[in-house]
């Protein structure tokens, strides 16, 4: 650091002639290159991190939380039947500019309509640009949900839904709903280079893109006209560093200030480093083992309960998550509203498990398969190791489990098709709404076909609750419904809930007010840096 | 000589076809399909999946797909990345100079140390120096690149604070790519200290990537030298009373270099394989990292295009080496 600081002192004046000498630069050691700068077609956190600095959304999540706050829309009205949302837009919101495009107008209703239509109307000129796969838009059910999106005047947009949808606002705070400039899009279409809007992005967010070199660097500058006020740092640099140990080396040396996804093996050294602080927060996620409830013998709740009692959860979490996970009892994480803390987890009790198994007609156990993901996921650091531990526990009650694995894409596809008997998977929340877990992962609708309900769990009393909660807009009433749903979940045991992974973020001491996002995002608006 | 060149060049065509076939079909044998991968964590429903397969043309019979691919390649169109939508050629063009720069430095480093070490080891056969060189080169040859890179970072960057950890240049410098070779661009940029920073960043990756070729070159030079030193003409030269230096530098070295040149040519392929790992450790934005990502994302056009382009580079280098070989050793072109 000493040397590069000296170097910097010598060179900064030379190349930042126009910028103030006290420019504050924050370097983030990101883990990979973004796919592009259009979150509407992206699915990875890496890509979202890169684009989220640039764009604004109609509404925003509060920094470090899941609460929905005004964004480009200053305020909104919801009709009493929950079907019509009228957004009143902020005036005077400026767009970024670059060498190909100088905006002539502020953000207005046309841009909001463009955001919806680009992902919604298959005949829209931008629908297929970059990719026709609008993953999150589709997955949040937008094509079915939206009835119409109309511009009332320049600063009012009316969105009509086909049915009430409680998580709708939270959905609009997600990355896929990033608002792009219609004027820029039109200009690029005319120039015959529509894909430019996703490669050289223009947004209304706190930072604008200055330079992107694939696999090397993403360079941003604070946007002085940002509607929320200029960011505290002047320059934001993503130094792309794929290897976790190398990221740690860079953090130690001060070559970067914030690093994501530390290697668990390095954590001890990080705790000892006086220049580094480790922030931690239970992530919005769950890792679980799903029983295929439509296949024998897992169609019998006694079998599922027995297995839940046979596996030593505490041992697994301690051995595999290494202090970066907390044992899970509910299908939603404790940081989420409506989490039912009065629920008791199934005890670890092999004897009782054996008894229950005998009652179900399997006194000598049975043979089954146990699927383990081939890759490390945020909610599950080492599925194969967990599978081995589970296999050993199950053997004690006579259940012989054969561990299986496939290439990751294949694995998920086959699980979703229901080819497994037991299999591990997990989920990271998108919008902070319990619906996103309980209905998406355990409702009847997603148990069909290739839905994400891999337990193929379709149980009417449970489904009734989560479907009702989905169309109720009153939060207190929804909370009650979800709490009840968690009781039924525990009784029916479609999953063995493993753990909620804790998010650990080593940052350097000079970083001020960096907040962990429950969604696992990295945003730098509001962050400051000391001593520069 | 002309016939020699022509036969060599004509071999390129079947090799070229072979590469396209391998690149096209091998990646399709790997499980996982690009649309699933694109859908990420969330999966995708069957109807949508089918629709996207059509959009990307994956619904056509595989041989038809290959035909379309080849006809496009012949028109100079390598296709677009499924993930970024940028033309494969554009991405390659932007990233290849970084790999090239690193590979050139690595091979120069390997030659600068490997050649003299090999020669000296041969001259002082069975001395401690000889055993030392052979021992070290064997170690270097078997060193796992990943581990070696991390060790160097820990020692030289973190502990001793001599070199930067990773990347091509300090993030404070804003260098517009002109040639893509940062050593040149940093000079052109006129920013004070940029060149020095680029050099500093090159040191560790050069050592890591150059280690295996260095070991191979040292061993090869040594054995070639030993063989030549045992030849009659060397004895004659010595008997004529030529100085030891003249015997080695003029008579022995020239002939010993012939097999060494071949080895250097073969090392080009090794360098690109090594670059994949080296680039990942040192966050070096080259084609190695690019191809690795393409494999994970099942980005077929990138893999096909990348393999083809790298194939062309390796073939060209080998062609040049072959021709150079023919030049220094006339026996090669006549006796065939």
Which range among A473-487, B199-213, B245-259 shows the weakest confidence by mean pLDDT? Answer: B245-259
pLDDT, one tens digit per residue, over B253-287 is 877 888 888 888 888 888 888 888 899 889 888 89
Domain boundary among A152, A179, A200: A200
Fold of B88-328: MetI-like fold (1.10.3720)
Q: Which helix (H) or strand (E) holds A401?
A: strand A400-404
A304-314 average pLDDT score: 95
pLDDT, one tens digit per residue, over A225-268 is 999 999 999 999 999 998 899 999 999 999 999 999 888 788 88
CA distance B27 to chain A (A): 13
Question: Do A65 and A107 share a domain, yes or no?
Answer: yes
What is the pLDDT at residue A22? 60
A51-59 average pLDDT score: 96
Domain boundary among A141, A169, A200: A200
Of A43, A195, A249, the CB nearest to B153: A249
- The answer, yes or no, to whether residue A1 has pLDDT greater than 50, is no
Provide, as residue numbers in chain B, all residues whose Cβ is less than 8 Å from the Cβ of A243: 150, 280-281, 283
What is the CA B9 to chain-centroid distance, rounded?
A: 21
Residue A4 lies in a domain: no
What is the pLDDT at residue A3? 47
Asked if A25 and B171 come within 8 Å (Cβ–Cβ), the reply is yes
Residue A14 lies in a domain: no
Question: Do A361 and A238 share a domain, yes or no?
Answer: no
Return the higher-pLDDT residue of B208 and B73: B208
**Residue B232 — pLDDT band, cuts 50, 70, 90?**
confident
Provide, as residue numbers in chain B, all residues whose Cβ is less than 8 Å from the Cβ of A250: 165-166
Question: Do A188 and A244 share a domain, yes or no?
Answer: no
Asked if A253 and B166 come within 8 Å (Cβ–Cβ), the reply is no
What is the pLDDT at residue A518? 86
Question: Do A384 and A454 share a domain, yes or no?
Answer: yes
pLDDT, one tens digit per residue, over A447-471 is 887 788 999 999 999 999 999 998 8
- The boundaries of the domain holding residue A302 are 285-502
Q: Looking at residue A229, which CATH number applies to its domain?
A: 3.40.190.10
Measured from the Cβ of residue A116, the count of other Cβ atoms closer than 10 Å reads 21
**Residue A352 — pLDDT band, cuts 50, 70, 90?**
very high
Beta-carbon contacts of A461 under 8 Å, excluding residues fewer than 6 positions away, are A488
Question: Do A365 and A450 share a domain, yes or no?
Answer: yes
CA distance A14 to chain B (A): 7
CA distance A17 to chain B (A): 12
Q: Looking at residue A118, which CATH number applies to its domain?
A: 3.90.76.10
Task: Enter the ipTM.
Answer: 0.81
Number of domains observed in the structure of chain A: 3
A189-207 average pLDDT score: 94
What is the pLDDT at residue B333? 59
Domain boundaries, chain B: 88-328
- The answer, yes or no, to whether residue A347 has pLDDT greater than 80, is yes
What is the pLDDT at residue A342? 95
Contact status of B208 with chain A (Cβ, < 8 Å): no
Q: Which two tokens stand for residue A481?
A: 């419904």
Question: Do A189 and A237 share a domain, yes or no?
Answer: no
Cβ-in-10-Å burial (0-12, 13-18, 19+) of A319 comes to: middle
Interface of B with A in 36-95 (CB under 8 A): 36-46, 48, 51-52, 55, 82-86, 91, 94-95
CA distance B154 to chain A (A): 7
Asked if A27 and B283 come within 8 Å (Cβ–Cβ), the reply is no
CA angle B287, B289, B292 (to 5 degrees): 105
**B244 and B140 in contact (C-beta within 8 Å)?**
no
Residue A47 lies in a domain: no
What is the pLDDT at residue B206? 94
Question: Do A333 and A465 share a domain, yes or no?
Answer: yes
**A286 and A426 in contact (C-beta within 8 Å)?**
yes
Residue A134 lies in a domain: yes
Q: Which helix (H) or strand (E) holds A322?
A: none
- The answer, yes or no, to whether residue A97 has pLDDT greater than 60, is yes
Q: Provide the greatest CA pair distance for chain A.
A: 80
**Residue A8 — pLDDT band, cuts 50, 70, 90?**
very low
pTM of the shown model = 0.82
Instruction: Please tell me which of A7-21, A325-339, B59-73 the model is most confident about, judged by mean pLDDT.
Output: A325-339
**A444 and A177 in contact (C-beta within 8 Å)?**
no
CA distance B164 to chain A (A): 8
Phi, then psi, of A253 in degrees rounded to 5 = -85, -5
Q: Pick the closest to residue A184 from A117, A99, A123, A103 (CA basis).
A: A103
- The answer, yes or no, to whether residue A278 has pLDDT greater than 90, is yes
Q: How far apart are CA B258 and CA B245, in angstroms?
A: 19
What is the pLDDT at residue B42? 62
Q: How far apart are CA B159 and CA B155, in angstroms?
A: 5
What average pLDDT does the structure give for chain B?
A: 84
**Residue A505 — pLDDT band, cuts 50, 70, 90?**
very high
Interface of B with A in 159-188 (CB under 8 A): 161, 164-168, 170-174, 177
Asked if A242 and B38 come within 8 Å (Cβ–Cβ), the reply is no
**A174 and A136 in contact (C-beta within 8 Å)?**
yes
Q: Which two tokens stand for residue A219?
A: 């360079």
């Amino acid at each position: 650091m000493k040397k590069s600081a000296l170097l910097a002192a010598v060179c900064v004046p030379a190349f930042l002639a126009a910028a103030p000498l006290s420019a504050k630069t924050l370097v983030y050691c990101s883990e990979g290159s973004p796919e592009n700068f259009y979150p509407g077609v992206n699915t990875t956190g890496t890509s979202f991190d890169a684009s989220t600095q640039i764009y604004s959304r109609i509404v925003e999540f509060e920094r470090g939380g899941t609460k929905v706050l005004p964004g480009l829309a200053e305020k909104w009205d919801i009709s009493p039947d929950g079907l019509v949302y009228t957004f009143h837009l902020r005036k005077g919101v400026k767009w970024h500019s670059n060498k190909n495009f100088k905006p002539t107008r502020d953000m207005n209703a046309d841009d909001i309509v463009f955001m919806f239509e680009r992902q919604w109307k298959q005949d829209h000129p931008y629908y297929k640009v970059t990719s026709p796969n609008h993953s999150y838009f589709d997955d949040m059910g937008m094509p079915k949900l939206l009835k119409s999106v109309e511009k009332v005047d320049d600063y009012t947009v009316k969105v009509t839904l086909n049915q009430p949808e409680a998580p709708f606002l939270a959905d609009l705070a997600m990355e896929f709903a990033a608002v792009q400039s219609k004027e820029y899009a039109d200009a690029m279409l005319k120039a015959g280079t529509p894909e430019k809007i996703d490669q050289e992005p223009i947004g209304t967010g706190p930072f604008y893109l200055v330079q992107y070199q694939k696999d090397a660097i993403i360079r941003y500058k604070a946007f002085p006209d940002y509607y929320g006020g200029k960011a505290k740092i002047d320059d934001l640099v993503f130094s792309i560093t794929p290897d976790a140990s190398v990221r740690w080396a860079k953090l130690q040396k001060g070559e970067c200030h914030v690093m994501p996804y530390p290697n668990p093996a390095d954590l001890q050294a990080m705790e000892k480093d006086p220049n580094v602080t480790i922030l931690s927060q239970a992530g919005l996620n769950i890792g679980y083992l799903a029983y295929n409830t439509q296949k024998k013998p897992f169609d019998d709740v006694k079998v599922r309960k027995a297995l839940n009692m046979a596996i030593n959860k505490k041992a697994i979490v301690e051995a595999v998550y290494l202090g970066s996970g907390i044992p899970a009892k509910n299908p939603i994480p404790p940081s989420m509203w409506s989490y039912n803390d009065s629920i008791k987890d199934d005890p670890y009790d092999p004897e009782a498990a054996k008894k229950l198994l005998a009652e179900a007609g399997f006194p000598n156990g049975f043979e089954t398969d146990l699927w383990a993901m081939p890759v490390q996921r945020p909610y599950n650091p080492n599925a194969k190791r967990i599978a081995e531990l589970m296999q050993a526990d199950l053997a004690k009650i006579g259940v012989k489990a054969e561990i299986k694995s496939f290439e990751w894409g294949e694995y998920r596809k086959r699980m979703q098709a229901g080819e497994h008997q037991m299999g591990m998977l997990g989920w990271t929340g998108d919008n902070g709404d319990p619906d996103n877990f309980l209905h998406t992962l355990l409702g009847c609708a997603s148990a069909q076909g290739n839905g994400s309900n891999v337990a193929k769990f379709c149980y009417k009393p449970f489904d009734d609750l989560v479907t009702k909660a989905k169309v109720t807009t009153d939060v207190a009433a929804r909370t009650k419904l979800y709490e009840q749903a968690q009781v039924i979940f525990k009784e029916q045991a479609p999953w063995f809930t493993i753990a909620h992974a804790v998010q650990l973020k080593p940052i350097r001491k000079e970083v001020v007010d960096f907040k962990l996002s429950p969604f696992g995002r990295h945003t730098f608006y509001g962050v400051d840096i000391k001593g520069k | 000589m002309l016939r020699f060149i022509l036969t060599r060049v004509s071999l390129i065509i079947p090799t070229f076809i072979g590469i396209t076939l391998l690149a096209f079909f091998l990646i399709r044998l790997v499980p996982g399909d690009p649309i699933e991968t694109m859908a990420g964590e969330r999966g995708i429903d069957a109807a949508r999946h089918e629709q996207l397969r059509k959009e990307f043309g994956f619904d056509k019979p595989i041989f038809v797909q290959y035909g379309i691919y080849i006809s496009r390649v012949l028109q100079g169109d390598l296709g677009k990345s499924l993930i970024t939508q940028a033309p494969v050629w554009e991405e390659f063009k932007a990233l290849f100079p970084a790999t090239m720069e690193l590979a050139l430095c690595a091979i120069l480093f390997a030659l600068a140390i490997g050649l003299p070490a090999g020669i000296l080891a041969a001259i002082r056969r069975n001395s401690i120096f000889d055993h030392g060189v052979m021992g070290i080169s064997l170690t270097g040859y078997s060193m796992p690149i990943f581990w070696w890179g991390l060790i160097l970072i820990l020692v030289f960057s973190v502990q001793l604070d001599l070199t930067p950890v990773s990347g091509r240049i300090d993030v404070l410098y804003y260098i517009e790519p002109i040639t893509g070779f940062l050593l040149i661009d940093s000079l052109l940029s006129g920013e004070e200290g940029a060149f020095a920073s680029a050099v500093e960043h090159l040191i560790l990756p050069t050592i890591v990537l150059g280690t295996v070729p260095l070991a191979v070159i040292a061993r090869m030079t040594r054995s070639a030298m030993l063989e030549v030193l045992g030849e009659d003409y060397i004895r004659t030269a010595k008997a004529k009373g030529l100085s030891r230096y003249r015997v080695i530098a003029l008579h022995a070295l020239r002939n010993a270099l012939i097999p060494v040149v071949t080895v250097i040519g073969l090392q080009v392929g090794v360098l690109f394989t090594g670059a994949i790992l080296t680039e990942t450790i040192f966050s070096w934005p080259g084609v190695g990292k690019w191809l690795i990502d393409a494999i994970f994302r099942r980005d077929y056009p990138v893999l096909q295009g990348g393999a083809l382009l790298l194939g062309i580079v390796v073939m060209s280098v080998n062609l040049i080496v072959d021709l150079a070989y023919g030049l220094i050793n006339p026996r090669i072109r006549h006796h065939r």
